[in-house]
Structure 1
Amino acid sequence: MSLSLSFTHPILSRHVYSAVFPPPRFLFLSPLIPTTSRFPILYRAPQRATALSATAVTASIFRDTAASASVFAGAYALVFTFDILTQKELIQQNLSRKLVHILSGLLFAISWPIFSNADEARYFASLVPLFNCLRLVIHGLSLTDDQSLIKSVTREGNPKELLRGPLYYVAMLMLCALVFWRESPVGVICLAMMCGGDGVADIIGRKYGSSKIPYNQSKSWVGSISMFVSGFIISIGMLYYYSALGYLQLDWGYTLHRVAFISLVATVVESLPISMLIDDNISVPLASMLAAYLTFGH
């Protein structure tokens, strides 16, 4: 038992404990941690905590670096695969470009859980679209020549096209990762609409879109309907994916209605005759982002 020096006061009594004879542990709610000690060599807790913290930080950095490298390798493999398929004429150029548009963004969003729980993880994930952004700028300005890149992501094979739609696309990937990350449904819905909804609409609309929308002859009814349906389904799938992993807690009754509303907003915006003023890779994700933020509130 610890020893103490005590004295009695007429009004109150108190105990004065020395550094050599500490008070009983039951008087404290947390483990006893002395702030000073006559024998500092006997107290190693701060150094141990610092070592553990440093180890955790190092592990997070290593994991996030490996995750970034894996995502980058996967993105490169995806584009390379469709380049080979196009060169062998197993798939048409326009279809290849749109499949890359659909898959690259969705796979990027699906990859976020492989990153650590550190606050800096989103910055590591954003390195992939940042690298592609710089790559598009370099080739778009014709500082270097990469015909495989130009053929895989442009409509007419003009390098300057890299500075428009494709550049806006990777910028949106980076924006969603940095701002919304895994803790908000807004980012994943935004990418689902831009990649899945708009991408599927273009493929279906080009093949079956004979009936045009009255106020925009470059868009078809079947294309808009396919955008609404595919955007809704892919968004729900992405939300379920993150909900199953524990990142999101959703009331599915309300979520279905909200996602349907967001899909409708994105579809209407995509159908408007404004593509000459603002690219779909800007208008669709921004409209989806605003609608999702207003409906989900975060």
Structure 2
Amino acid sequence: MAATKSISSLLLVDSSSSCFFSPIPRFLTLRIATTTTLRSTTSTLLRRAPSRRSLTSSLAVMFPDNSVLSDVCASGITSVVAVSCLGFWGEIGKRGIFDQKLIRKLVHINIGLVFMLCWPLFSSGRQGALLASLVPGLNIVRMLLLGLGVYQDEGTIKSMSRHGDRRELLKGPLYYALSITSACFFYWKTSPISIAVICNLCAGDGMADIVGRRFGTEKLPYNRNKSVAGSIGMAIAGFLASVGYMYYFASFGYMEGIGWDMILRFLIISVASALVESLPISTDIDDNLTIPLTSALVGTLLF
């Protein structure tokens, strides 16, 4: 009887004492508490940790905490780069180092693609798109002033016109600047459509002329002004440039879902743009309009 009371007294909780008997072993209690603490800490860290995309996309932005200042600085840097490129080709045109037609196409290829290289400097929202589009937008004003004869720049006129006539800048070069500005503002760097528009316009159309002049002995049956080699060269150049910029923007986290499916869509857009460029209508209107419109339309259907 005394032994039974002694055992029973051990099972009772003494309210005046800080020690009591627990039916759960102590080592299990410690393990449960530790596991709960680790889970809570891990979930808190995951909630606070920025995503991989936000980290990579902010790498090129100069002031991540001040998007306005960052975009203004990026716009200034991009403007300097664009003016430097135009000045370089203008000087080449003045010196007569290359044929004028070749220089015009090199400018055509170079300007838009170099401009797109600067896009990661800007923020991803509408503000970044607006300030980035101001760079080619100012070039629209420049083409108007040069084309109307408000001011003279012989080097630029030679490097961007077929025959050295300033009025030519009011057609192809003006449409070129309008197309790049529109692609930048309306689609921006998170859309594959902007890549397709600019790459087919710059790399594709530029290489079509260069390849066509050198290897274009066989003309298209429905347009004797265009060659088979030029059309093939355009499709290949536009496609390769599109894929290259796809991976370029993906490295900053702006492009998701890249793979063979997206690559195939870029190929379809480039082939469609090359086909439209080969039609007589592109000569009658201007391929600086028909190519971007085709790329944007087909891109909208595919993406």
What is the TM-score normalised by the length of structure 2?
A: 0.76
Report the Cα distance in structure 2 between the residues aligned to 1:237 and 1:139, rounded to whole angstroms: 34
Any residues of structure 2 matched to 1:91-240 within 5 Å, and which? Answer: 91-240=98-247
Deviation at 1:277, TM superposition (A): 2.8
The residue aligned with 2:265 is: 258
- Residue 164 of structure 2 aligns with an amino acid whose one-letter code is G
- Residue 181 of structure 1 aligns with an amino acid whose one-letter code is W
Any residues of structure 2 matched to 1:20-31 within 5 Å, and which? Answer: none
Report the Cα distance in structure 2 between the residues aligned to 1:57 and 1:109, rounded to whole angstroms: 20
Q: Residues 141, 88 of structure 1: CA spacing in aligned structure 2 closer, same or farther, 3 A cutoff?
A: closer
The residue aligned with 2:40 is: none
Report the Cα distance in structure 1 between the residues aligned to 2:89 and 2:214, rounded to whole angstroms: 20
Report the Cα distance in structure 1 between the residues aligned to 2:238 and 2:222, rounded to whole angstroms: 22
Deviation at 1:234, TM superposition (A): 0.6
* 2:124 and 2:190 in contact (8 A); partners too: no
Report the Cα distance in structure 1 between the residues aligned to 2:204 and 2:94, rounded to whole angstroms: 27
Report the Cα distance in structure 2 between the residues aligned to 1:256 and 1:61, rounded to whole angstroms: 34
- Highest RCO, 1 vs 2 (Cα 8 Å, sep ≥ 6): 2
Report the Cα distance in structure 2 between the residues aligned to 1:143 and 1:58, rounded to whole angstroms: 42
Deviation at 1:178, TM superposition (A): 0.7
* 1:189 and 1:238 in contact (8 A); partners too: no
Report the Cα distance in structure 1 between the residues aligned to 2:262 and 2:299, rounded to whole angstroms: 10
- Deviating 4+ runs (over 6 angstroms): none
What is the TM-score normalised by the length of structure 1?
A: 0.77
SS, match of residue 160 in structure 1: helix
Deviation at 1:147, TM superposition (A): 1.4
- Residue 198 of structure 2 aligns with an amino acid whose one-letter code is L
Match of 2:85 among 70, 78, 91: 78
* 1:60 and 1:118 in contact (8 A); partners too: no
Report the Cα distance in structure 2 between the residues aligned to 1:227 and 1:275, rounded to whole angstroms: 14
Deviation at 1:108, TM superposition (A): 1.0
* 2:124 and 2:189 in contact (8 A); partners too: no
Deviation at 1:92, TM superposition (A): 1.6
SS, match of residue 143 in structure 1: coil
Report the Cα distance in structure 2 between the residues aligned to 1:86 and 1:145, rounded to whole angstroms: 15
* 1:93 and 1:152 in contact (8 A); partners too: yes
The residue aligned with 2:35 is: none
- Residue 244 of structure 1 aligns with an amino acid whose one-letter code is S
- Residue 292, structure 1, aligned to residue 296, structure 2: no
- Residue 248, structure 1, aligned to residue 255, structure 2: yes
Whose Rg is larger? 2
Deviations 1:215-248 (A, max 9, x none): 1111001001101111111111111111121101
Report the Cα distance in structure 1 between the residues aligned to 2:158 and 2:150, rounded to whole angstroms: 17
* 1:243 and 1:250 in contact (8 A); partners too: no
Report the Cα distance in structure 1 between the residues aligned to 2:211 and 2:262, rounded to whole angstroms: 27
* 2:75 and 2:132 in contact (8 A); partners too: yes
Deviation at 1:57, TM superposition (A): 9.4
- Residue 212 of structure 1 aligns with an amino acid whose one-letter code is K
- Provide the alpha-carbon RMSD of the alignment: 1.6
Gaps of 5+ in 2: 1-62
* 2:246 and 2:258 in contact (8 A); partners too: no
- Residue 278 of structure 2 aligns with an amino acid whose one-letter code is S
Report the Cα distance in structure 2 between the residues aligned to 1:93 and 1:277, rounded to whole angstroms: 23
Report the Cα distance in structure 2 between the residues aligned to 1:170 and 1:99, rounded to whole angstroms: 15
Report the Cα distance in structure 2 between the residues aligned to 1:105 and 1:89, rounded to whole angstroms: 23
Report the Cα distance in structure 2 between the residues aligned to 1:58 and 1:156, rounded to whole angstroms: 49
Q: Percent identity?
A: 39
